[in-house]
A and B are shown apart, each in its own frame.
Chain A
Amino acid sequence: MATVTPQKITIEPVTRIEGHAKITIRLNEAGKVERAYLHINEFRGFEKFCEGRMAFEMPVITPRICGICPVSHHLAAAKACDDLYGCPPPRPAQLLRELMHMGQVIQSHGMHFFELAGPDLLLGFDADPATRNVVGLIQANPNLALRAVRLRKFGQEIIHILGGRRVHPVFAVPGGVNKALTRSERDQILAGLDDAIETIQLGLKIFKDWAEANQEDINRFAVFSTGYFGMVKPGNTLELYDGQLRLIDANGQELEYFDGRDYLNYIAEHVEPWSYLKFPYYKKMGWPAGVYRVGPLGRLNVADRIATPLADAALKEFKALNNGKPVEQTLYYHYARLIEALYAAENVRALLDDPDILSTDILNTRQEIRGEGVGVIEAPRGTLFHHYWAKPNGQLERVNLIVATGHNNWAMSEAVDSVAKTYITGPEIREGLLNRVEAAVRAYDPCLSCSTHAVGQMPMVIEILDAQGQVQQTLTRLHE
């Protein structure tokens, strides 16, 4: 519900995002927006309660940080274990892990575009909140909604085929994976691929049409400059599973290019008293000058090319939006997300065509324990770090996690503040305006469960407080 007073608007819970959040909008004496805050309202404590567990358990424990992108934690944990136990996986195992990851990127990005953010774009920011959701979408456009369901299913089935289940699969282990891919399983995945690519291309067309009709909104909706951060392969090629990390400034100049194992030299986290989600920043520039954005927009801004043809062509069009400079508009996250989904789907074919994909050489059992390990992966929402320290027997002594959505915490807070100031200008506050404030968060597709591994959920309330901090009005998303 949203609570509105002369001084503060509270939106709680923020919906159609993953996890728990609320937004408070503080008003000044004149009734104008003074500052809007995004509060991430849950703390779980994985970094503490994993102490004492065996490192090899982490690929099973840490997916419970997030049920939307469990594969990211599953694989980041396995990669940290490869490093900690000193057992690099054989190539076929790397390919199979990457294949599972592509399944996740397709399902997560697809679900976000069609099922979570889609209702805003397809039904409208001002549509009736009672039907502005996936059910409303099914009723308004059943064919499109069913395509979206099939796309998500396609990605989830890749995860299921490899890991035995769709949510919280059991597949990657230190040194490799526990199951090879059979020929019939490969063919089963291939059978759904063309349909998936068609749906993603349809999504791209829908977004581009929407963007053309809503150019004015796009250009005044949370547009600001930051650095950008993400993983690349040589030649600054977009990479989601394993590569080097690249940080660029707001003009596109490279600031850093480094191995994920050295992240502590480059990234630090700031704490604000009003959120359980920390604020990572570029250490050398300090807080808050060193803020940057990750996820689809961040990755496409740091990449110069994509290895697959359709996505690479789409990237060229994307780059043209700002003449090759980084794209700054928050709403273009949706565009970037679809281009990445297209890459993931094309990459599924490349992986399945690889002669090593059916190999049974999937596990390196020779271990040389190092006692410390870092695993880095591009989760759908951005760069994910798992860092473990263990005793010689593999029992964990310390755990540090920096989760994808965390990197965007400053940007989401800035977006909320910016959109509140742009759209909430008069005494009358419509629900649709508040929905735009939520949409500013939604564009980042935050995974607040992840971010609050540390955290856990993300609903939203709007309260309006006056200059004295008294609640003036509460807005609810109820039908009344």
Chain B
Amino acid sequence: MSKPKVATDWLAGCAGCHMSFLDIDERIVNLIELVDLRSSPITDLKEPDPSGVDVGILEGGINNTANEEVAHKMRKRCKILVALGDCAVFGGVPAMRNFFKIEDALRRAYVETESTDAEGKIPNDPELAKPTRVRAVSEVVKVDVFVPGCPPSADIIYYVLSELAQGRIPVLKDERLQWH
């Protein structure tokens, strides 16, 4: 049997969950025996295989139109979707923006900030994604496995990945269910 294919991506987060993944340290050698790491911010494949992957992992919430597209594509191309970390599970710290109007946040950043010069204006090129309300991944696509934590510890991530690699859905409860 071929190794299960895993694809990962990051949305509105901080990359800390991917760093916590790298914090499995030497165990990465065991892990790559178990899984085939496909598209990911740490590889050069740009999107999940069109033929599909077994596991898709998303870090970060959804705060713009580009994140929506990435989430939909990942959902379409993976069998099991994992929301990794507090931002993906709940929206996390970036969701604090929902207490403000998006226009006010943009104006503060690109016009009002003390270091911005007099020509400051809100970027609006069509190449740029449009900001939206900040949402958990499950508000946009169906999620199969939720792994909270900011970030989840390396041990939890290793447990989740090795269970998935062996065809089991990881169960997070008791000491494995961490909220910090």
Specify which chain B residues have a CB less than 8 angstroms from the CB of A149 in the assembled complex: 25-26, 28
CA distance A191 to B110 in the complex (A): 47
Closest beta carbon of chain B to A290's beta carbon, Å:
11
Asked if A47 contacts B108 (CB within 8 A), the reply is yes
**Which of A13, A20, A130, A167 is the one whose CB lies under 8 Å from B16?**
A167
What's the A-B contact tally at a CB cutoff of 8 Å?
A: 247
Q: Which of B22-41 contact A (CB under 8 A)?
A: 22-23, 25-26, 28-29, 32, 37, 39-41
Contact partner, A115, options B10, B32, B42, B64, Cβ 8 Å? B42
| B114 CB → nearest A CB, Å | 5
Q: Do the beta carbons of A435 and B109 come within 8 Å of each other?
A: no
List the B side residues contacting A66 at CB < 8 Å.
Answer: 14-16
Check B110–A129 contact: CB distance below 8 A: no
- Residues of chain B at interface, number, CB under 8 A: 69
Q: A37-B127, A152-B22 are in contact. Are A67 and B17 (CB under 8 A)?
A: yes
On whether A166 and B20 interact (CB within 8 A), knowing A44-B63, A48-B97, A456-B94, the answer reads yes
What residues make up the interface of A, taking CB atoms closer than 8 Å to B?
Answer: 1-2, 12-13, 15-20, 22, 24, 37, 39, 41-45, 47-51, 61, 63-68, 70, 111, 115-116, 119, 129-130, 132-135, 138, 142, 146, 149-150, 152-153, 156, 165-168, 263-264, 267-276, 278, 280, 287, 385, 387, 398, 400, 402, 435, 449, 454, 456-461, 476-480
Selected contact of B15 from candidates A19, A264, A478, CB within 8 Å: A19
Q: How far is the CA of A49 from the CA of B64 in the complex (A)?
A: 17
The contact of A168 among B16, B18, B41, by CB within 8 Å, is B16
Contact present for A454 and B109 (CB under 8 Å): yes
Contact residues in B for A16 (Cβ distance below 8 Å): 41-44
Q: Apart from A43-B131, A149-B25, list 8 A-B contacts with CB within 8 A.
A: A19-B15, A68-B19, A115-B22, A165-B153, A167-B19, A273-B123, A273-B124, A477-B39
- B169 contacts which chain A residues (CB < 8 A)? none
Contacts of B97 in A (CB 8 A): 44-45, 48-49
Known: A47-B109, A49-B96. Contact between A129 and B114, CB under 8 A?
Answer: no
16 pairs of residues in contact across A and B, judged by CB atoms under 8 Å: A15-B44, A22-B127, A48-B104, A115-B22, A133-B37, A149-B26, A167-B19, A269-B120, A271-B122, A271-B123, A272-B123, A456-B60, A459-B10, A478-B49, A478-B50, A479-B49
> From A266, which residue of chain B is reached at the shortest CB distance?
B115
Q: In the docked arrangement, what's the CA distance between A2 and B10, Å?
A: 18
For B151, give its contact among A24, A50, A119, A167 (CB under 8 Å): A167
Nearest CB in chain A: distance from B172 CB, A: 18
Q: Using CB atoms and an 8 Å cutoff, list the residues of chain B in contact with chain A.
A: 9-20, 22-23, 25-26, 28-29, 32, 37, 39-47, 49-50, 60, 63-64, 66, 92-94, 96-97, 99-100, 102, 104-106, 108-110, 113-117, 119-125, 127-129, 131, 150-151, 153-154
List of A residues within 8 angstroms of B123 by Cβ: 43, 271-276
Closest Cβ–Cβ distance, residue B166 to chain A (whole Å)? 19
Query: Would A459 and B41 be within 8 Å (CB), given that A48-B105, A400-B114 are in contact?
Result: yes
Expressed in whole angstroms, the minimum distance between the Cβ of B73 and any Cβ of chain A is: 10
* Chain B residues near A61 (CB-CB < 8 A): 93, 96
| Closest Cβ neighbor of A152 among chain B residues | B22
The 9 closest A-B CB pairs, nearest first, are A67-B16, A45-B105, A477-B46, A48-B105, A274-B125, A133-B43, A64-B93, A67-B14, A129-B44
Which of B16, B63, B99, B124 neighbours the largest number of chain A CB atoms within 10 Å of its CB? B16
Neighbouring B residues of A132 by C-beta, 8 Å? 43-44
Whether A49 contacts B105 by the Cβ 8 Å rule is yes
Q: Check if A270 sits within 8 Å of B23, measured CB to CB.
A: no
CA distance A267 to B45 in the complex (A): 38
Given known A48-B104, A64-B14, A454-B109, contact A461–B114 (CB-CB < 8 A): no
- Give complex CA distance A17, B15 in Å: 10
Contact across chains for B150 and A287 when beta carbons are under 8 A apart: no
Q: Determine if B15 and A67 form an interchain contact, defined as CB atoms under 8 angstroms apart.
A: yes
* Complex contact A269–B115 (CB within 8 A): yes
Residues of chain A with a CB closer than 8 A to B125's CB: 39, 273-275
With A37-B127, A276-B128 in contact, is A459–B9 under 8 Å at CB?
yes
The reply to whether A270 and B44 form a contact with Cβ atoms under 8 Å apart is no
A400-B113, A457-B15, A477-B46 known; A138+B100 contact, CB < 8 A: no
> Are B115 and A275 in touch, CB under 8 angstroms?
no
Q: Which residues of B contact A168 (CB under 8 A)?
A: 16, 150-151
Q: B10 to A457, Cβ gap below 8 A?
A: yes
Considering residues B43, B60, B100, B105, which has the most beta carbons from chain A within 10 angstroms of its beta carbon? B43
Nearest Cβ on chain B to A473's Cβ, whole angstroms = 14
Given known contacts A20-B66, A45-B106, A387-B114, is B16 in contact with A275 (CB within 8 Å)?
no
Q: CB within 8 A of A133: which of B44, B63, B115?
A: B44
User: From B92, which residue of chain A is reached at the shortest CB distance?
Assistant: A64
Question: Contacts A274-B128, A400-B114: A67 and B42 contacting too (C-beta < 8 A)?
Answer: no
Report yes or no: A134 in contact with B115, Cβ–Cβ below 8 A: no
| Residues A271 and B22 in contact in the complex (CB < 8 Å), given A138-B32, A449-B15 | no
B168 to chain A, nearest CB (A): 23
A135→B43 contact, CB < 8 A = yes
When the two chains form the complex, which single residue of A63, A138, A280, A480 contacts B28, counting CB atoms closer than 8 Å?
A: A138
Max chain B C-beta neighbours (<10 A), residue from A16, A44, A270, A435: A44
Is the Cβ of B46 less than 8 Å from the Cβ of A15? yes
